């Protein structure tokens, strides 16, 4: 796991980088265990030994039988929190909204994502796009509102429903569409497709197909930025990592391991839970404990929690921005549930029999694009004509992206083994023995 690997490597990295602070790393002797910590600054505000002795104390208590279900759940008692922290007071008041001009930019981006997705669905039905295809229709406000609240060089990592997030992050729709079409001009040379939108120039570290797999990666990214800032350059951690996950990921072990490390290591990680109510055909309450009180998931790891309306981009931004700023300032993780809905099926082959037409219509009546457009009509000078013009511009941009993708060459076979893994031991040439396995003179 990326985060754990980072922890293990920390003292060695410092040595390699020649950072004098290595000497200040501490060795703890507790309860018969000896372990070495990273630089004390890296453990800001917590004492590792209390974690271990607290755990050992609880363990001994359990053995003696004096820890019961009753006193384990008694929240009125203050105990030394594992990881040294409990969730702290929610950050201050809501953020101010940006200018009307910026809000128009958000509307344009949300329209772009929706049009992009509709064209993807058409192309998929016409068999021009193959493989998996999970569209983001209905969830546009989440990507646009959260990305507007962070800096352009803050790392972003997502699950497989990632076209919208990549576009919100600034990926060129041409490269995104060419990836969908499996063409050489795609962001991953057409080798990843729908689930693997990756754009290092925009600090977008991919869509990921294994449910929850991006969360340890997100923790690792947050660890890397923090380590670089605080240890290698002796500065302040000034980046946050945005890590998106679906409600289905809540039940993945790796997500909980990563949350534990994030809480324990004060990682500047923002987990954005896109709660669209379904994990494939399973409604959240059928597959997830405490689905009515998801703050419990974050509290368990001492992580700050908030739940926001994911269909109202203004409300979302106003709540989310102070949390993101707080995460950056305090270098502490936050967990934000964005309540949203996907209008289409899980993927292209889903007839949506697990939910009613009435439910869908009810959710769509609070459409995120309509809500923002209405606000701009009421509070700024957006006219119906202006809205139509915006829609026309976006349609033409997506038409251009499709034409560009189609004109891009098919990815040649010679690309089959390139960029798959870093060639640490020399280029893999198919039938020859990799360099690492060769004897001298081979």
Ligand X SMILES: Cc1ncc(C[n+]2csc(CCOP(=O)(O)OP(=O)(O)O)c2C)c(N)n1
The footprint of ligand X (CB under 6 A) covers: 161, 209-211, 246-249, 276, 278-280, 346
The CB-of-346 to ligand X minimum distance in angstroms stands at 5
The one of ligand X, Mg ion, none whose footprint includes residue 193, by CB under 5 to 8 A per kind, is: none
CA 71 to chain centre: 36
User: Which residue of the chain is nearest ligand X when measured via CB?
Assistant: 246
Does 246 bind Mg ion (CB under 5 A)? Our answer is: yes
Look at residue 341 and give the partner it binds from ligand X, Mg ion, none, a contact being a CB closer than 5 to 8 Å depending on partner kind. none
Contact track, Mg ion, 189-228, x by CB under 5 A: ----------------------------------------
What is the rounded CA–CA span in Å between residue 419 and residue 440?
27
**All residues at 6 or more sequence positions from 284 whose CB lies less than 8 Å from its CB, including other chains:** 247, 275, 277, 278, 291
Choose among 160, 344, 334: nearest CA to 246: 160
- Which residue's CB is nearer to ligand X, number 180 or number 373? 180
**Closer CB to Mg ion, residue 286 or residue 380?**
286
Q: Shortest distance, CB of residue 252 to ligand X, whole angstroms?
A: 6
Euclidean distance between CA atoms 317 and 144, whole angstroms: 9
Q: How far apart are CA 116 and CA 136, in angstroms?
A: 10
Rounded to a whole number of angstroms, the minimum distance from the CB of residue 276 to ligand X is 5
At its nearest, how many Å lie between Mg ion and the CB of residue 197? Answer: 18
Q: Which span (98-106, 247-255, 302-310, 366-374) binds Mg ion, by CB under 5 A?
A: 247-255
What angle, 0 to 180 degrees and rounded to 10, lies between the N-to-C axes of helices 100-125 and 384-407?
A: 50
> Is position 304 an interface residue for Mg ion (rule: CB under 5 A)?
no
Cα angle value 112/367/279 (rounded, 5°): 90
Contacts of 1 (CB under 8 A, 6+ apart): 216, 219, 220, 254, 257, 258
Measured from the CB atom, is 332 or 346 closer to ligand X? 346
Percent of the chain that is helix, strand, coil (3-state, to 5)? 50, 10, 40
Q: Which of ligand X, Mg ion, none has residue 112 at its interface (CB below 5 to 8 Å by kind)?
A: none
Q: If binding means CB under 5 A, how many residues of this protein chain bind Mg ion?
A: 4
| Shortest Å, Cβ 8 to ligand X | 24
Site of interaction with Mg ion (CB under 5 A): 246-247, 276, 279
């Amino acid at each position: 796991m990326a985060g754990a690997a980072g922890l293990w490597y920390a003292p060695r990295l410092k040595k390699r980088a020649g950072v004098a602070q290595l000497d200040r790393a501490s060795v703890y002797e507790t309860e018969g265990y000896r372990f070495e910590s990273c630089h004390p600054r890296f453990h800001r505000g917590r004492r590792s030994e209390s974690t271990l002795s607290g755990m050992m104390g609880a363990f001994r208590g359990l053995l003696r039988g004096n820890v019961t279900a009753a006193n384990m759940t008694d929240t009125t008692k203050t105990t030394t929190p594992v990881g040294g922290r409990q969730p702290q007071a929610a950050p201050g008041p809501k953020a101010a909204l940006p200018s009307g001009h910026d809000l128009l930019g958000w509307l344009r981006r949300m329209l772009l994502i929706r049009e992009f997705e509709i064209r993807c669905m058409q192309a998929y039905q016409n068999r021009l796009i193959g493989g998996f295809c999970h569209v983001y229709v209905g969830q546009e406000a989440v990507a646009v509102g959260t990305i507007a609240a962070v800096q352009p060089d803050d790392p972003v990592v997502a699950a497989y429903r990632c076209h919208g997030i990549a576009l919100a992050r600034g990926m060129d729709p041409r490269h995104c569409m060419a990836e969908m079409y499996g063409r050489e001009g795609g962001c991953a040379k057409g080798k990843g497709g729908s689930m693997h939108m990756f754009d290092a120039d925009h600090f977008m570290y991919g869509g990921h197909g294994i449910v929850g797999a991006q969360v340890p990666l997100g923790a690792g990214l947050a660890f890397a930025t923090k380590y670089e800032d605080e240890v290698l350059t002796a500065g302040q951690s000034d980046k946050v990592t945005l890590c998106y996950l679906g409600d289905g990921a809540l039940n993945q072990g790796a997500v909980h391991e990563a949350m534990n490390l994030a809480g324990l290591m004060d990682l500047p990680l923002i987990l954005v839970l896109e709660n669209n109510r379904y994990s494939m055909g399973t409604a959240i309450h059928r597959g997830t404990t405490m689905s009515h009180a998801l703050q419990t998931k974050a509290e368990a790891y001492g992580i700050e929690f908030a739940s926001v309306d994911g269909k109202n981009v203004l409300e979302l931004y106003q709540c989310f921005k102070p949390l993101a700023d707080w995460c950056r300032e305090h270098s502490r993780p936050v967990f934000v549930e964005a309540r949203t809905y996907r209008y289409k099926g899980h993927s292209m082959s889903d007839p949506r029999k697990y939910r009613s037409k009435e439910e869908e219509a009810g959710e769509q009546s609070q459409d995120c694009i309509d809500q923002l457009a209405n606000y701009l009509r009421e509070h700024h000078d957006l006219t119906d004509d202006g809205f139509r013009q915006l829609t026309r511009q976006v349609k033409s941009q997506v038409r251009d992206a499709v034409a560009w993708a189609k004109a891009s060459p098919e990815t040649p076979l010679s690309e089959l083994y390139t960029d798959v893994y870093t060639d640490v031991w020399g280029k893999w040439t198919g039938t020859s023995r990799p360099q690492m396995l060769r004897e001298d003179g081979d």
